[in-house]
A and B are shown apart, each in its own frame.
Chain A
Amino acid sequence: MLRFFFLRLGRAALTVALVVTFAFVVLRLSGDPALIIMSVDAPPEAIAAFRKAWGLDDPIWLQYLRYFSAIGQGELGQSMRDGRPALELVAERIPATLALTLPALALKLGIGIPAGIYASLHRDSLIDRIVMVTAVAGFTVPSFVLGLVLVLIFSVQLGWLPSGGQESWRHAILPVLTLGIGGAAVLARFTRSAMLEVLGQSYIRTASAKGVPWPAVVRGHALPNAAVPTVTIVGFMVGSLIAGAVVVESVFSWPGVGRLLVVSVANRDLAIVQCILLLVAITMVSANLIVDLLYGVLDPRLRSGAKAGAH
């Protein structure tokens, strides 16, 4: 199990390093931050001074080494726009984003999983059809369209809820719904598929044939086995808690990490973008790592497989 853990940990660290490297190179190849931040009208000497001050004149490999060594010392750089530490600026925005993504995650789990289970247990019934049609609709409608439709109904037509901003808890309702509905649809579909696959297995028939009450079969045999693919999806959702609301934050003018990312990419504020991507990579990789470890808990065969591999 220890080897299994360290193997996964090593892979996670490599993934984070690759993401950061990719972001570093792409950002520097797609536009000069000096020209964007200083404006294209700035005198050449000011642009040159800006490049020098931020080390943008150095070869990219040197900038890269410098950046990696700084990360090693816990230094994530300063915003080129206002000179404040990048981590501080990003950290300021995280609570706002979590205020949307955490309730949305609860909504996804609270609606998606029960709906998926219910639909699978009542396959081909009217409710199953309704759940699946709703799930497909929720899954396919882009979040910005769903967000605008919700605004048109609840803000413009009915006047019940605000259309954007972050002044009160009421402002969070529509963005949370927008995020939650799409995610719940995805979860419902996956849960239903996983359950249907498990319900078709011979051990379920055996348990039923042995006279185990159906609720006990579902609880004891179907749900734990169907949990593995569902946990994978939930892992992705947990991983996207920090930057999973980029579009929704823009539609609802919600000042979270997503908005900061959009603005910082547009301004080529490299330190901020890199800091956000690093945090996103770490969150995503950590979530995946936890999911990997949960596999071992949920499915003992994976543990023994890892052990077998160790010998």
Chain B
Amino acid sequence: MTHLTRRHALGLGAASTGALILPRFAIAQADNRPSITIAVQKIANSNTLETLREQSNVGTRTFYSYAESLIDTDWAGDLSLRPGLATAWRRIDDRTVELTLRQGVTFHNGETMTAEDVAFSFGSERMWGGAGQAGSAGLFGSVTAGAAGKQPPAEVVAVARRAFPGFEKIEIVDPQTVRFVNKTPDVTLEGRISRNVGIIVSRKAFAEAGSWLDWARKPVGTGPYGIAEFKPDQSLTLVAHDAYWGGRPLLKQIRFVEVPETASRINGLRSGEYDFACDIPPDQISEIEKNPRHEVLGGLITNHRLTTFDKTHPQLENPLVRRAMTHAIDRQTIVDALWGGRTRVPKGLQWEFYGDMFIADWAVPAFDPKLARELVKQSGYKGDTIPYRLLNNYYTGQVSTAQVLIESWREIGLNVEIESKENFPQVLAKGSTRAVRDWSNSAAFNDPVASITAQHGPTGQQWQIGEWRNDEMGKLSDELETSTDRARRKAMFRRILEICEREDPAYTVLHQTANFTAKRRDIQWKAAQAFVMDFRARNWGGIRS
């Protein structure tokens, strides 16, 4: 008879545990790729990773590791468009782009990407709120935030409509070719397709998910890293997708952790827990770089800080007052004093990556206090208060910038007073104290319709909330959206800039935004001209020993 003593039992238990652990240990031993931890202020505002829902700067930072669009953007380079999941594309006509799909692309679930997946990614289930629902009265009738069922929440459909306003269909020509068909002519289709809302996701994975929310928290894409675990408000762990079409990723794991306090992110970097610390204010850069082991990267991104005007406010009705305000600001001093010269005063609300549409000879209104005082005098301004609704440093250096602006306007005889607000709805609420406020504008792709018309035109926020409108600008915006005459488009854009920034100011550009990331100096990595962090092999130079 065999007696099993406690010692034997323990021995057997230990042996079994060892047997369970050893093979995994062996695998871990074989994979000696580095893992990195990145401290961010926030991972996702919406607590989802579906780009159609998470349209934020912070979401932009992570999406590029786990998902890809048909047309890629050279984020770490000049922001030009380049092949992504499509190896080539060509115009069929003013409203159709034909794309050749990359072969051998595998999703994180092991499925091969097909033309059907592309059609699904732009289809009604993911983007337009289910068959037959787009545009119907019931479209927004059941907002469940996607917790039950597969119906995407209302904002997903709204984002899709804004991103692809003229979308008609995806036409599958053959297994390797699809056509993006628009209802209206649009010269910016390639740029729109490159946006992060146009990521290609697995149709099968969507079908297998329990609910839209389950899906949105773990979308299955084709990026070099797959989503291993997402803990909302806490962390996002991505692991190498070894079947990635672009080659085996050089990192084993990327972990984003949410550390809301700037000081805590910096301390974690110093103590060696984090390899990267994002969202570093400019005044912390020199302090961080005192430690030779760390450096701060980053710089200009495709986002400009603005001050916007409510032209319906009695004191701002006269454009001369607004024009005076635009000439009173010494923008270069703001850049030098508050940003340590690490950003610049741009040429109005546009970026060089617009290419042919960039108007190189345009400039923001010159700093000219004498002219500004003259304009105030001509306007007949009587000294009444002009309220300035201000958030507490939602934007980097926002309060300090506001103080500079207040003093600049006081110098030319305008009585502008700060009203502190807690959130954007309070800033935007219509009322007698809505006159001046802060904003920032980005361009999601390389054309003015991605910014000036989208943000200040008839469909833009400023127009929609009744702050500012100008009939001529409205007509030009509409035409700019659909015109295919490139020379005419450029002329229209120039006229729009004249109206919005000079004649009837809707806003005034203060400076370009810069985004700074602190990191270990021994890590060879380049920051992008956007919030995007690129951890593909081409942008990872390894860790210097």
A, B from the same assembly:
yes
- Point out the residues of chain A lying under 8 angstroms from B55, CB to CB: 39, 41
Within 257-272 of A, Cβ neighbours of B (below 8 Å) are at: 259-260, 262-263, 266-268
Looking at the assembled complex, report how far the CB atom of B210 sits from the nearest CB atom of chain A, in whole angstroms: 13
Contact of A251 with B264 at beta-carbon distance under 8 Å, contacts A45-B140, A162-B273, A260-B233 already known: yes
- Point out the residues of chain B lying under 8 angstroms from A65, CB to CB: none
- Point out the residues of chain B lying under 8 angstroms from A164, CB to CB: 257, 259, 264, 267-268, 273
Residue in A closest to B429 when the chains form the complex, CB atoms = A32
B 136-165 to A, binary, CB cutoff 8 A, 1 in contact else 0: 000111111111100000110110011000
Task: Evaluate contact between B161 and A163: CB separation under 8 angstroms.
Answer: no
A166-B423 Cα distance, complex, nearest whole Å = 30
CB of A232 closer than 8 Å to a CB of B: no
A 107-123 to B, binary, CB cutoff 8 A, 1 in contact else 0: 00000000000000000
A159-B260 Cα distance, complex, nearest whole Å = 21
B 514-545 to A, binary, CB cutoff 8 A, 1 in contact else 0: 00000000000000000000000000000000
Contact of A38 with B155 at beta-carbon distance under 8 Å, contacts A46-B140, A82-B147, A165-B273 already known: yes
Chain A, interface size category, equals 35 or more
Task: Evaluate contact between B260 and A152: CB separation under 8 angstroms.
Answer: no
Among the listed B143, B231, B270, which residue makes an inter-chain contact with A49, where contact means beta carbons less than 8 Å apart? B143
Among the listed A31, A50, A162, which residue makes an inter-chain contact with B140, where contact means beta carbons less than 8 Å apart? A50
Looking at the assembled complex, report how far the CB atom of A279 sits from the nearest CB atom of chain B, in whole angstroms: 18
Residue in A closest to B140 when the chains form the complex, CB atoms = A49
CB of A44 closer than 8 Å to a CB of B: yes
A81-B233 Cα distance, complex, nearest whole Å = 12
Contact of A253 with B145 at beta-carbon distance under 8 Å, contacts A31-B425, A40-B461 already known: no
Task: Evaluate contact between A53 and B141: CB separation under 8 angstroms.
Answer: yes
Residue in A closest to B465 when the chains form the complex, CB atoms = A40
CB of B422 closer than 8 Å to a CB of A: yes
Residue in A closest to B148 when the chains form the complex, CB atoms = A83
Task: Evaluate contact between B264 and A163: CB separation under 8 angstroms.
Answer: yes
Within 28-54 of B, Cβ neighbours of A (below 8 Å) are at: 45-48
Among the listed B148, B162, B425, which residue makes an inter-chain contact with A36, where contact means beta carbons less than 8 Å apart? B425
Task: Evaluate contact between B140 and A48: CB separation under 8 angstroms.
Answer: yes
Among the listed B47, B154, B155, B271, which residue makes an inter-chain contact with A159, where contact means beta carbons less than 8 Å apart? B271
Looking at the assembled complex, report how far the CB atom of A37 sits from the nearest CB atom of chain B, in whole angstroms: 8
Looking at the assembled complex, report how far the CB atom of A11 sits from the nearest CB atom of chain B, in whole angstroms: 33
Looking at the assembled complex, report how far the CB atom of B402 sits from the nearest CB atom of chain A, in whole angstroms: 19
Looking at the assembled complex, report how far the CB atom of A59 sits from the nearest CB atom of chain B, in whole angstroms: 19
The chain A residues found within 8 Å of chain B, CB to CB, are 30-32, 35-36, 38-46, 48-50, 52-54, 78-84, 148, 151-152, 155-156, 159, 162-166, 250-253, 255, 259-260, 262-263, 266-268
The chain B residues found within 8 Å of chain A, CB to CB, are 45-48, 55, 139-148, 154-155, 157-158, 161-162, 213, 231-234, 257-261, 263-264, 267-268, 270-273, 422-426, 428, 461, 464
9 residue pairs bridging A and B, Cβ less than 8 Å apart: A30-B422, A30-B426, A31-B426, A45-B140, A151-B271, A163-B271, A163-B273, A164-B259, A266-B423
Lowest 6 CB-CB distances: which A-B pairs, in order? A49-B140, A83-B147, A83-B145, A53-B143, A35-B425, A155-B271
